[in-house]
């Protein structure tokens, strides 16, 4: 299925050379923002946030305003016709005719792809449940380029909620495309990385290991990407409490890290990084959030001027098969074509939420 608009649902919809161009433009904007102050004059961006956000929403909004554009949208679907039962399809169809570009965050996996199916303007995925978050990855790439000087030959530790952390999923998918990177996945057994992302790492040839101790691996790392435990994605409070506070980065622990290791965090922080660590020059998370604004300015300019079409599905539609993930958009938006990619002879991977299911024979 081809959409006649360019969308950014997953960074891997575009080649790494394209991401690099966006990141390079982000760096140019950071150095000379005034040159770009009229780049989106007369354009309107819609931000449809069905899930809470501070940085992603406001950095997109300030990015558009700084480019001379204007904004419409909601940050609480209860204030829109969504509360009257309007489908994602209808909301998207309408709003995409009011705006030149649409940015969507949603608590259900695959929502941005579903929106792109009916949108009459480019759609940017600003996070779909615990699945993907491509614009946080662009933020992370610009931060790495500016603060480490490269996107390759880095040993990156990712720590915390690796199963639900969409920023982790998108970052690993992207960084495994650059030469010489290796990954240390630090989590409890319950919060391990989903197997479909591990398969992507294996296919890329980038070495990775799964460990449970942060202290043991800290001295090896060039970058430590901390994440919060995503309370809202657990099925019970007990399960969340059992995981909470497992990993806390402290000033004391940081003594074992390389002098030039940087600490990243997509934020919000709960308590996984001690506040005292903010004074350490290696603590880069607040700068990272600012890089996010510049890279989103670059992304908006790029997407608004891009003339390409987007191929939204690569597999095929199976009329009699349903995705088994209760948090997949195909479960709530019943009209969507159920498209899957075959994995070997026995499995299918949902093209909305990436969940795998066994084919019944």
Question: Of all helices (H) and strands (E), which one includes residue 64?
Answer: helix 55-66
Q: Which is nearer to ligand NCD, 167 or 302 (CB)?
A: 167
CB-hemisphere CA count at 13 Å for 149? 2
Whole-angstrom distance, CA of residue 280 vs CA of residue 114: 42
Q: Which phi and psi (to 5°) does residue 83 adopt?
A: -70, -15
CA-based end-to-end distance of the chain: 27
Considering only the stretches 9-17, 107-115, 224-232, 271-279, report the one whose residues sit in contact with ligand NCD under the rule CB under 6 A.
224-232
Report how far residue 346's alpha carbon sits from residue 338's, in angstroms, rounded to the nearest whole number.
17
* Cα gap 3→18, rounded to integer Å: 19
Minimum distance, C-beta of residue 56 to ligand NCD, in the bound complex (Å): 4
57 contacts ligand NCD (rule: CB under 6 A):
no
DSSP label at 173?
Answer: H
- Does 288 help bind ligand NCD (rule: CB under 6 A)? no
Give the shortest CB-143-to-ligand NCD separation in angstroms.
12
By the rule CB under 6 A, 127 interacts with ligand NCD: yes
Q: Minimal distance in Å, beta carbon 179 to ligand NCD?
A: 27
Query: Which of residues 133, 145, 148, 173 is near ligand NCD by CB under 6 A?
Result: 133
> Quick check: 81 and 52 in contact, CB under 8 A?
no
- Binding-site member from 266, 310, 331, 351 for ligand NCD (CB under 6 A): 266
CB 224 within 8 A of CB 249: yes
Per 3-state DSSP, what percentage of the chain is helix, strand, and coil (rounded to 5)? 40, 20, 40
By rule CB under 6 A, what count of residues binds ligand NCD? 12
Minimum distance from residue 265 beta carbon to ligand NCD (Å) = 8
- What φ, ψ does residue 310 adopt, rounded to 5°? -120, 130
Give, for 316, the enclosing helix (H) or strand (E).
Answer: strand 316-317
115 or 126: CB nearest ligand NCD: 126
Span interacting with ligand NCD, options 227-235, 256-264, 302-310, 330-338, rule CB under 6 A:
227-235
- Binding of ligand NCD by 55 (CB under 6 A): yes
Of 17, 243, 309, 346, which is closest to residue 151 (Cα–Cα)?
Answer: 17
What are the angstrom distances between the C-alpha of 201 and each of 110, 195, 335, 358?
A: 21, 10, 33, 22
Interface pick for ligand NCD out of 3, 47, 56, 118 (rule CB under 6 A): 56
CB of 166 to ligand NCD, least distance (A): 5
C-beta of 231 vs 308, nearer to ligand NCD: 231
d(CA 319, CA 336): 11
Site membership for ligand NCD, residue 187 (CB under 6 A): no
Question: In the complex, what is the shortest distance from the CB of residue 207 to ligand NCD, in angstroms, rounded to a whole number?
Answer: 26
CB of 57 to ligand NCD, least distance (A): 9
- What is the C-alpha separation between 20 and 18, in angstroms, rounded? 5
Among 148, 228, 296, 356, interactor with ligand NCD by CB under 6 A: 228
Candidates 113, 145, 166, 338: give the one binding ligand NCD (CB under 6 A): 166
Give the interface with ligand NCD as residue ranges (CB under 6 A): 55-56, 127, 133, 136, 166-167, 227-228, 230, 266-267
């Amino acid at each position: 299925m081809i959409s006649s608009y360019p969308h950014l649902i997953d960074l891997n919809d575009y080649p790494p050379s394209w991401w690099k161009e966006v990141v390079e433009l982000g760096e140019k904007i950071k150095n000379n923002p005034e040159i770009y102050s009229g780049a989106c004059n007369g354009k309107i961006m819609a931000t449809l946030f069905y899930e809470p956000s501070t940085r992603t929403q406001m950095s997109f909004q300030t990015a558009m305003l700084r480019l001379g554009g204007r904004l419409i949208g909601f940050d609480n679907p209860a204030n829109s016709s969504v509360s009257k039962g309007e489908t994602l399809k209808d909301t998207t169809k309408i709003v995409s005719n009011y705006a030149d570009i649409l940015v969507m965050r949603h608590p259900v996996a695959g929502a941005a792809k579903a929106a792109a199916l009916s949108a009459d303007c480019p759609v940017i995925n600003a996070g779909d449940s615990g699945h993907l978050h491509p614009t946080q990855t662009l933020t992370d790439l610009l931060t790495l380029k500016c603060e480490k000087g490269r996107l390759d030959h880095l040993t990156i530790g990712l720590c915390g909620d690796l199963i639900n952390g969409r920023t982790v999923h998108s970052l690993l998918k992207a960084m495994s495309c650059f030469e010489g990177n290796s990954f240390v996945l630090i989590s409890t057994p319950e919060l391990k990385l989903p197997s479909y992302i591990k398969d992507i790492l294996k296919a890329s040839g980038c070495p990775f290991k799964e460990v449970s101790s942060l202290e043991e691996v800290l001295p090896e790392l060039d970058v430590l990407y901390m994440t919060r435990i995503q309370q809202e994605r657990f099925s019970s409070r007990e399960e969340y409490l059992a995981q909470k506070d497992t990993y806390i980065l402290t000033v004391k622990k940081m003594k074992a890290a390389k002098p030039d290791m940087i600490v990243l965090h997509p934020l919000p922080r709960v308590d996984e990084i001690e506040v005292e660590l903010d004074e350490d020059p290696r603590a880069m998370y607040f700068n990272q959030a600012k890089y996010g604004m510049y890279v989103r300015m670059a992304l908006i300019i790029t997407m608004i001027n891009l003339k390409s079409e987007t191929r939204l599905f690569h597999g095929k539609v199976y009329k009699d098969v349903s995705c088994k993930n209760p948090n997949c958009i195909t479960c709530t938006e019943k009209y969507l074509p159920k498209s899957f990619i075959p994995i070997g002879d026995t499995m299918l991977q949902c093209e909305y939420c990436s969940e795998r299911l066994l084919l019944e024979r």
